[in-house]
Amino acid sequence: MINVDDLIDQTTGAQRRVIYADQAIYEQELERIFGRCWLFLAHESQVPNPGDFFRTYMGEDEVVVVRQDDRSIKVFLNTCTHRGNRLTRADRGNTRAFSCNYHGWAFGIDGNLATVPLESEVYFNEIDKDQFRLVPVEQVDSYHGLIFGCFDKDAPSLADYLGDMRWYLDVALDAMPGGTELLGATQKVIIHSNWKLSVENVCGDGYHLGWSHGGALKATQSGDFSGFTVGNSNVNLEGGMSVAGLNGNSVLATLDGVSGYAFYPNPTLALKYLSENRAKAVERLGKLRGEKLWGSQLNLTVFPSLQFLPGLNWFRVYHPKGPGKIEMWTWAIAEKAMPDELKQQILDNELLTFGPAGLFDNDDGDNLSACTVQSRGWRTRQMPVFTNMALGRSGKRVGLPGDIASGVVSEHNQRYFYRRWQEHMQAKDWSEVPQYNLNPLEAKDEQRTVQAA
């Protein structure tokens, strides 16, 4: 095992660049992060009916998510237990059985080996089919429609894993009755980036917005976004916050209740929906979340590789493919209660901004690829890179869980992301992984905030 004690320095906000380049470190990530953490698999809305399946990845392991006849969800390695061929080759679909292309073994949607061709003639009826069931993922659970899987039977429950992050997630997932749904086909893009660089770009890096995306801002911006201007010449730190210290999960948020839709060329429909439903959101989430967070731009990150942005309305998971490559999967996310016309507009605007030809996304890919490839240089990889902005300038805010820094421009969340990465990479199993939900919410806090606001 590689000792990562010196690769991340929390006191200076530095990371050694070898973590973006080294194959052995990557193998350790597959085991200690992707093999241990809860990973997003699919949204319930993607597998609504018995027999519906969805093919995805956990780290580099290919899995298939299947809705059972009793409506529960099972997840299996997408691999035949006989000679190891890939089982289903479709992205999704509906089926009663998974048949292997190689020798024709067929498995029921519950994972049972149902049919072995020539079972009596060549296996002499001696095969114990129970031994050859599809390999199930150890833990499967869902949170407000998001299905997660975990390879580690000793991992904490999904609820504990998410911890107080749930308080923020609920703004996106439970503000309206019916929850959310994902829209559109899976948008798949290969980026030659280390997976951590893609996550940190979204989990906390508001700094790049005005500069990297200057051209896109100029083309699409219709409203104020935390005082941002093209060319990074202005920002209003009071207009947002960076929230971390929640077991590696984090939130970047504006606080005006509308600026999630600042990058819709025409946000009329969305703003109408927000104003018509504000009272309901406040009723369900309380005044603070209902007024200040619902409708705001939120960058929500569930460690290690799920990110979604209500407002811009993209929902994304990164599948690592080696230290220098990811497959990035994106959908649009909408509240089920939204009118159809708004949902269609959300799908369209998500693709316009963050789809494969997205005006914003097409700025990020080259930066992140270049950060990755630079780290391969023998001399370069010995150097640190820094997330030291606003170091030490965070604290507690009444009524809000987590350790919080002002503004959507700080490198506060990235530091916590790398801290969590280091903690997992150091720990031999879950018993050594520290659990922390800093500044936990107490019932009286929430009440006080509601009264004060």
Partner 1 sequence: MNSALSKPLEVPVMLAIDKHLALQQQVFFEARLLDDERYNDWLGLIDEDIRYRMPMTERRFRKDRSAPLAFGGGYIFDENKGRLTMRVDRLQSGLVWAEDPRNNVRRIISNVEIWQGAEANEAEVYSIVTIHRSRIDGEEKRFVAGRRDIWRETAQGWRLALRELKLDNDVVLDSNMNTLF
Among 79, 212, 249, 305, the residue binding partner 1 under the rule CB under 8 A is: 212
Nearer to partner 1, 119 or 327 (CB): 327
- Give me the amino acid identity at 111: G
Using CB under 8 A as the binding rule, whether residue 191 contacts partner 1 is answered as yes
Name the segment binding partner 1 (CB under 8 A); options: 25-33, 216-224, 411-419, 431-439: 216-224
In three-state secondary structure terms, 412 is helix
Instruction: Respond yes or no on whether the N-terminal peptide bond of residue 339 is cis (omega within 30° of 0).
Output: no
Q: Which of 255, 258, 259, 224 is nearest to 241 (CA)?
A: 255
**By CB under 8 A, how many residues form the interface with partner 1?**
56
Contact 308, 314 (CB under 8 A): yes
Using CB under 8 A as the binding rule, whether residue 259 contacts partner 1 is answered as no
Using CB under 8 A as the binding rule, whether residue 193 contacts partner 1 is answered as yes
Nearer to partner 1, 256 or 364 (CB): 364
Q: Which of 383, 405, 397, 411 is nearest to 446 (CA)?
A: 397
Among 216, 306, 400, 404, the residue binding partner 1 under the rule CB under 8 A is: 216
Using CB under 8 A as the binding rule, whether residue 321 contacts partner 1 is answered as no
Q: Give one DSSP letter per residue of 113-181, joined into a string.
A: EEE-TTHHHHHTT---GGGGS--B-SEEEEETTEEEEES-TTSPPHHHHHTTHHHHHHHHHSSSTT-EE
Q: Which of 333, 249, 327, 425 is nearest to 57 (CA)?
A: 327
- Kindly state the smallest distance separating residue 347's Cβ from partner 1, in Å: 5
Using CB under 8 A as the binding rule, whether residue 368 contacts partner 1 is answered as yes
- Kindly state the smallest distance separating residue 410's Cβ from partner 1, in Å: 23
Using CB under 8 A as the binding rule, whether residue 365 contacts partner 1 is answered as yes
- Kindly state the smallest distance separating residue 149's Cβ from partner 1, in Å: 21
- Cα–Cα distance between 384 and 18 in angstroms, integer? 9
Count CA atoms closer than 13 A to 313's CA, side-chain side.
Answer: 33
- Cα–Cα distance between 79 and 75 in angstroms, integer? 12
- Kindly state the smallest distance separating residue 136's Cβ from partner 1, in Å: 22
Q: Which helix (H) or strand (E) holds 22?
A: none
- Residue 142-181 contact track with partner 1, rule CB under 8 A, x = bound: ---------------------------------------x
- Cα–Cα distance between 367 and 197 in angstroms, integer? 10
Nearer to partner 1, 174 or 361 (CB): 361
Nearer to partner 1, 17 or 67 (CB): 67
Residues between 331 and 360 with contacts to partner 1, criterion CB under 8 A? 332, 340, 343-344, 347-348, 350-352, 355-357, 359
Cβ-based neighbours of 235, under 8 Å, separated by 6 or more: 206, 210, 226, 227, 228, 407, 409
As annotated, the active-site residues are 103, 205, 208, 213, 364
Strands 394-397 and 400-406: antiparallel
User: How many other β-carbons are positioned within 10 Å of the β-carbon of residue 412?
Assistant: 30
- Kindly state the smallest distance separating residue 37's Cβ from partner 1, in Å: 24
Residues between 291 and 320 with contacts to partner 1, criterion CB under 8 A? none
Chain contacts with partner 1 (rule: CB under 8 A): 48-49, 51-52, 89-95, 181, 183-193, 212, 214-216, 218-220, 230-231, 265, 327, 332, 340, 343-344, 347-348, 350-352, 355-357, 359, 361-369
